[in-house]
Amino acid sequence: MRSVRALAAMAALSVLTVSTTTLADEGKQGGILRMYHRDSPANASIHEGATYSVNIPFMPVFNNLVIYKQDEPQNRMDDIVPELAESWAWVNDNKTLTFKLRQGVKWHDGKPFTSADVKCTFDMLMGKLQQKFRQNPRKAWYNEVNDISTNGDFEVSFNLKRPQPSLLALLASGYTPVYPCHVSPGDMRTHPIGTGPFKFVEFKANESIKLTRNPDYWKKSRPYLDGIEFTIIPNRSTAILAFVAGKFDMTFPTEVTIPLVKDVKSQAPSAICEIAPTNVSTNIIVNSSAPPFDNVDIRRAMALALDRKAFISIMFEGQGDIGGTMLPPPNGLWGLPKEMLETIPGYGPDVSANREEAKKLMQKAGYGPDKHLAVKVSTRNIPVYRDPAVILIDQLKSIYIDGELDVVETANWFPKVARKDYMIGLNLTGNAVDDPDQSFYENYSCGSERNYTNYCNKEIEKLFDVQSQETDAGKRKKLVWEIDKRLQEDVARPIIFHSRMGTCWQPYVKGVTIMTNSSYNGYRYEDLWLDK
């Protein structure tokens, strides 16, 4: 209860902070921010997307109930501030989260925003409305929500089956905008209507996305920019050259590789570049339902053979992070501390010793110098997948495993994984929110659609629920560490590394904040301005 009171106090403080920062404005009004976009998103509907290719251009069109502070690099529970909500409170033994909503807010088409819009949005996300999203990739986020109730036009409550403090974190993600009730999901895919700082102008597939300033934005004096224009340039070389030539004010966020950051800095020394973790882990999915990886010794041997530092040196010039499921500290909030991590088999610093142990396990399973195990290492035909898969194959050789690369086109990758038509696969997992609930339930809970390996441990599943209900952050962290350690020991989905990527911008672009524990939540762009 004490922590609930603390949360409420922090919420009140956040409201105060928002109003005081508004008074301390320094930004200049005007100008169009020109960015390139790495690809053409399938549509403009954030709720139907599962890639930040949708978040980045369309997050400025919307508002959430609450949001992570946009000028804080680290997403933290105590940095969540109200947006369409004015305040929130946990009541009913932490089983009800009630929001008081902001009044006088209008959708971009002039209609008023009310609690009905909030109810509509989340009812649709929970699949409770007749009208449905074409795709609903984050339906599982609301598994613990029983229903949404409204009290008048400006109060809405999330009634939970059990306490789940992290619901607030999920609601603060860039993936959780409030949609208007009066616009169909189909229209939201082609012409999104929001309450946000920028209005949608046009989306020409493979060409450009244009947003313009919302003059009626409820947050007075924001946004600074007159508009944002994204030019879609899938060719990375062309895009970087165009940035260097000054055609763009900013690169696509967290998309510039470490070697390319060096290139940019050498060709455009005045450019500002920042390298940050993306909270995307590169991991191995193991088909433990069929030989040879149904043998736990072989799975453990494989985990022991990994030289994680070598991956990071080759791919990121040393700039990456080693950790478990959760992003490691200091950028990650829940990651295993180094001393605990090094006690997990395969994470110890002596790679040769690890591999000797792995060889013994392989010999126990009947393999050795004269009898190698032949495996196919499947992965998507995209460089970020393919490159580590090649390194993995090389490392597995050291423990009598001869890997053969099996590259799979994107369209066939997921059906193949779902059919269990693979032995081991090289996979990437992005986390929208640095919170264990999102990561554990999505990737490791029994029956989850994104639990590709069908790893199912009822005992650990219970621990997922225990940590999820824990309101004391300190206690919860210890539980999370214990779970993460056991997931790694079980070789549920061996994590190889957590990547880092760069973002560059011209020196006259001000107010840029690159978030360090998620690349999905920091694109409202209302505080960004051009000092030209």
Residue numbers at the binding site for another protein (CB under 8 A)? 40, 42-43, 49-51, 132, 134-137, 186, 189-190, 203-207, 231, 233-235, 237-238, 241-242, 244-247, 267, 409-415, 418, 449-450
Q: Which is nearer to another protein, 161 or 414 (CB)?
A: 414
Amino acid at 332: G
Rounded Cα distance between 499 and 257, Å, is 10
Q: Give the torsion sign (CA, 174, 118, 439, 74).
A: positive
What size, in residues, is the chain?
532
Q: Which is nearer to another protein, 244 or 314 (CB)?
A: 244
Least distance between another protein and beta carbon 189 (Å): 6
Q: Which is nearer to another protein, 318 or 415 (CB)?
A: 415
Rounded Cα distance between 103 and 383, Å, is 48
Q: Which is nearer to another protein, 349 or 447 (CB)?
A: 447
Least distance between another protein and beta carbon 409 (Å): 7
Rounded Cα distance between 466 and 462, Å, is 6
Rounded Cα distance between 73 and 70, Å, is 8
Q: Which is nearer to another protein, 1 or 411 (CB)?
A: 411
Place of tokens 């009140």: 12
Least distance between another protein and beta carbon 440 (Å): 16
Least distance between another protein and beta carbon 170 (Å): 17
Cα separation of the two ends of the chain: 50
Place of tokens 């070389």: 237
Rounded Cα distance between 417 and 287, Å, is 9
Least distance between another protein and beta carbon 441 (Å): 13
Output the DSSP codes for 498-515. Answer: EEEEEEEE-TTEE-----
Picking from 283, 451, 291, the residue whose alpha carbon sits closest to that of residue 375 is 291
Q: Which is nearer to another protein, 115 or 443 (CB)?
A: 443
Q: Which is nearer to another protein, 367 or 413 (CB)?
A: 413
Q: Which is nearer to another protein, 234 or 337 (CB)?
A: 234
For 461, phi then psi, to 5°, come to: -55, -40
Rounded Cα distance between 309 and 437, Å, is 28
Between β-strands 373-380 and 401-408, what pairing exists: parallel, antiparallel or unpaired?
parallel
Which residues, 6+ apart, have CB-to-CB distance to 205 below 8 Å? 40, 232
Rounded Cα distance between 155 and 151, Å, is 5
Q: Which is nearer to another protein, 39 or 109 (CB)?
A: 39
Least distance between another protein and beta carbon 182 (Å): 19
Least distance between another protein and beta carbon 232 (Å): 8
| HSE-CB of 245 using CA atoms within 13 angstroms | 8
Kindly state the tokens that stand for 138: 């984050």
Least distance between another protein and beta carbon 382 (Å): 11
Least distance between another protein and beta carbon 150 (Å): 27
